[in-house]
Amino acid sequence: MTRVAVFISGGGSNMVSLLEDMARPGHAGRPCVVLSNTASAGGLAKAQAMGVTTAVVDHRPFGGDRAAFEAALDAALAPFEPDLICLAGFMRKLTAGFTDPRAGRMINIHPSLLPKYKGLHTHARALDAGDGVHGCTVHEVTAALDDGPILGQAQVPVLPGDTPDTLAARVLVQEHRLYPAVLRRFAAGDRTPLFLES
């Protein structure tokens, strides 16, 4: 069994899709904890309702001291001994001090077809660029923002009249397909990139 920790900052819709898939037959992963950097994250209650233990490490008391925050994350994770960490809307950049010891054991989903549009406002940036195709990417986590080996991508067409919100909604549907599918393979040791059509 592969023990999986899921990090969230908000409502946790991708987290829910991961937890639901881990509950299905044949999955090598099992959730050991859902951790958030904010106690008000809506995803915490969802995880608890699904029977998954939760933890909170608030980043705010640490100010700009990322090393101290990450030491607190380490301490919170230690009792659960996760084999993998999935970032699912976790809105804190992690440093090499946290990511390097976990190289190959942390994955993230990002709402663009990386390497395009690292960072925020990806849907607006795709529209501004006149892209005909947009989507999402699951990748291994490194200390570099939205970097690391690509494990999967799902594409969506950009439609006439799309706004950032309408495009985001269609991409999110694909995120909920792609992330669980990649985690299922990754937890079983398969790192072959997966590419989904919309």
pLDDT beneath 70: ranges in the chain: 198
pTM of the model: 0.97
CA distance 164 to 37: 26
Euclidean distance between the first and the last CA atom of the chain, given in angstroms as a whole number? 31
Q: Is 110 a catalytic residue?
A: yes
Q: Are residues 70 and 140 in the same domain?
A: no
Which is the catalytic residue, given 27, 110, 123, 139? 110
Place of tokens 């795709």: 126
- Residue 74, pLDDT score: 97
78 and 150 belong to one structural domain? no
Domain region containing 26 = 1-92
CATH number of the domain where residue 119 is located: 3.40.50.170
Q: How far apart are CA 167 and CA 156, in angstroms?
A: 8
Mark whether 141 and 72 lie in a shared domain. Answer: no
pLDDT of residue 99: 98
Cα distances (Å, whole numbers) of residue 113 to 99, 107, 110? 22, 15, 8
Task: Kindly give, in sequence order, each residue whose CB lies less than 8 Å from that of residue 117, ignoring residues fewer than 6 positions away.
Answer: 125, 126
* Tokens 């190959």, residue located: 104
What pLDDT, on a 0 to 100 scale, did the predictor assign at position 197?
Answer: 81
Any domain includes 100? no
> What does 103-147 look like in DSSP terms, one character per residue?
TTSEEEEESS-TTSS-SS-HHHHHHHTT-SEEEEEEEE--SSTT-
Query: Are 78 and 116 contained in the same domain?
Result: no
* pLDDT tens figures, 107-165: 999 999 999 999 999 999 999 999 999 999 999 999 999 999 999 999 999 999 999 99
